[in-house]
């Protein structure tokens, strides 16, 4: 059985072939990790994608829920995501 790539919560951006000065420098997309409501704040983290592949995105990132520290709770170490290239 072939394992499918899970891209939920991922962002990819490519350099845009600008046709005029008002065009964006980069374009891309993200895949929501859950249903998102209009006006809801979502955290975004972006990294340079260090690769020689000309077809790969220039920047890659991750979307996540806004972290709210519970009152009175001791600091909790966040899990490390080894799939992020830095």
pTM of the model: 0.57
Domain assignment of residue 22, yes or no = yes
User: How far is Cα 21 from Cα 60, in angstroms, rounded to an integer?
Assistant: 24
**Number of domains the chain contains:** 1
Domain assignment of residue 75, yes or no = no
Instruction: Calculate the CA 3 to chain-centre distance.
Output: 22
Check whether 76 has a pLDDT greater than 70.
no
pLDDT tens-digit readout, 55-74:
899 888 888 888 887 888 77
Domain assignment of residue 86, yes or no = no
User: How far is Cα 33 from Cα 40, in angstroms, rounded to an integer?
Assistant: 14
Domain span at 24: 10-65
Domain assignment of residue 60, yes or no = yes
């Amino acid at each position: 059985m072939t394992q499918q790539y899970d891209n939920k919560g991922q962002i990819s951006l490519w350099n845009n072939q600008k046709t005029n000065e008002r065009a964006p420098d980069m374009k891309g997309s993200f895949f929501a990790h859950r249903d998102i409501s209009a006006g809801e704040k979502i955290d975004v983290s972006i990294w340079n994608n260090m690769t020689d592949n000309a077809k790969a995105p220039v920047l890659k990132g991750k979307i996540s829920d806004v972290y709210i520290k519970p009152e009175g709770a001791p600091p909790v170490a966040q899990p490390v995501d080894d799939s992020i290239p830095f």
